[in-house]
């Protein structure tokens, strides 16, 4: 097992534990739920094998569904997000970027990273809450839940990315 796989497995476990044990119990104003495990999908580099992305996304969704009592919702939504991620990241990769380019706040500007992260999280939230509701009878609540969850999740993802990039900048300056 490579160092990258071990690191990815550690992030997988930490995000699953945080989501299952803490974040699933927090619902701000009855609408917003922090779905931080979506950050895992955003971390895949440019030329990561598509089959591996799908496998990781399926496993992450399955673990979250198992412990969150949402049968198949996170699994289907994350697998669908894993399908579009390799194609979507290509829109933000610079021409002279290496093959293993990773879309982070440090490698992209704030605007480009927001343009990458927000649509991905919004897409996931829309699909997640659409599958969870399984109808569009109460479409206002669906839109409010998707929007509030996207906003909350993106704020936390940006916080993690900012902390990570400032620590990397601090380490390189020493």
Hey, where are the domains in the chain?
3-168
Q: 107: Cβ–Cβ under 8 A, 6 or more apart, which residues?
A: 97, 101
Does 1 have pLDDT greater than 70? no
Amino acid 92: pLDDT: 82
Compute how many other C-beta atoms are within 10 angstroms of the C-beta atom of residue 12.
16
C-alpha span between 133 and 62 (Å, rounded): 19
Strand partners, 32: 28
User: What are the distances in angstroms from CA 106 to CA 55, 75, 116, 167?
Assistant: 27, 30, 13, 11
C-alpha span between 158 and 42 (Å, rounded): 12
Specify the 3-state DSSP secondary structure of 152. Answer: helix
Give the gyration radius of the chain's Cα atoms.
Answer: 16
Compute how many other C-beta atoms are within 10 angstroms of the C-beta atom of residue 83.
14
Token pair for 100 = 């293993």
Query: What is the value of pTM for the model shown?
Result: 0.88
| Among the listed residues 155, 131, 133, 168, the one whose alpha carbon sits nearest the alpha carbon of residue 28 | 155
Which of the residue ranges 2-11, 90-99, 113-122, 155-164 would you say has the lowest mean pLDDT? 90-99
Does 103 have pLDDT greater than 90? no
Which residue in this structure is represented by tokens 């490579």?
2
C-alpha span between 42 and 29 (Å, rounded): 27
Q: What is the pLDDT of residues 20-42, one digit of tens each?
A: 888 888 878 877 888 889 999 99
């Amino acid at each position: 097992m490579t160092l990258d796989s071990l690191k990815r497995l550690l992030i997988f476990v930490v995000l699953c534990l945080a989501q299952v044990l803490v974040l699933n119990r927090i619902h701000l104003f009855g609408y917003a739920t922090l779905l931080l495990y979506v950050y895992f999908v955003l971390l895949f580099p440019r030329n990561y094998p598509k089959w591996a992305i799908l496998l990781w996304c399926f496993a992450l969704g399955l673990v979250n569904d198992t412990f969150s009592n949402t049968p198949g919702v996170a699994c289907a939504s994350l697998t669908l997000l894993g399908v579009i991620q390799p194609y979507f990241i290509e829109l933000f990769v610079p021409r002279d970027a290496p093959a293993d380019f990773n879309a982070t706040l440090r490698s992209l500007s704030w605007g480009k990273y927001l343009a990458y992260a927000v649509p991905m999280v919004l897409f996931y939230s829309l699909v997640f809450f659409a599958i969870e509701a399984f109808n569009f009878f109460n479409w206002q609540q669906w839109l409010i839940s998707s929007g509030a969850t996207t906003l909350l999740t993106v704020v936390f993802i940006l916080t993690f990315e900012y902390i990570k990039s400032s620590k990397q900048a601090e380490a390189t300056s020493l």
